[in-house]
Amino acid sequence: MRRPRKKGGTLKDGERRQLARTSRHATGPAVAFAPSDRHVLLCDGGSRGNPGTAASAAILVSASGEVVDQHAELIGQASAGEAEYRAILLGLQLARSHGIESLEVRSDSQLAISALRSTTPAPGVIDEIRTAASSFTAIRWTWHPRTANELADALVRDLLWP
């Protein structure tokens, strides 16, 4: 039998997970980038609730491993999946604004990466992403674990849990 929660404690599982994660990563993300053959785009999206208040973030990293630019924004009410797709679209726009031609897009969303690797027609935001991606000479879609996405994840968390 479950014990009732203490008065004044967090009420939602997501809040408890966020507090636990924040306490584990109190010193901030320490991420080193290995040199690459092209610019790298780190993307992450998240929502407080599903659907709920959502945010997306993108970080553009040069081929030598230097952070070129980053951007994060609240996107209103959306699901976590929608926020991930919006983060990729935001990142492609960021890369285009810097005149990047060849790009590796990294996301911790397996669903988004597999959808973008597929050639199956998909309406909505996936089609928007594919249209934006067609303006690059070379693009690579790469899934990587959440632990490798700390910088973008931190930008999203800062917006959703100020």
List, for residues 24-58, the tens digit of each pLDDT value. 555 555 556 777 899 999 999 999 999 999 999 99
pLDDT interval class at 151 (50, 70, 90)? very high
pLDDT interval class at 20 (50, 70, 90)? low
More confident residue, 146 or 2: 146
pLDDT interval class at 63 (50, 70, 90)? very high
**Per DSSP, what are the bridge partners of residue 107?**
43, 143
Three-state SS for 115? helix
For residue 27, what pLDDT is reported?
A: 53
State the Cα–Cα distance between residues 11 and 112, nearest whole angstrom: 30
Compute CA distances 69 → 34, 66, 95, whole Å: 17, 9, 9
CATH classification code of 37-160? 3.30.420.10
109: its two tokens = 């969303």
Residue 156 CB contacts under 8 Å (≥ 6 apart), including other chains:
44, 45, 46, 55, 56, 57, 72, 83, 87
For residue 123, what pLDDT is reported?
A: 84
8 A C-beta contact, residue 36 and residue 63: yes
pLDDT interval class at 121 (50, 70, 90)? confident
Question: Sheet of 102-107: strands edge to edge?
Answer: 67-78, 52-61, 39-49, 102-107, 138-143
pTM exceeds cut of 0.85: no
What residue segments make up the domains of the chain, in order of their start?
37-160
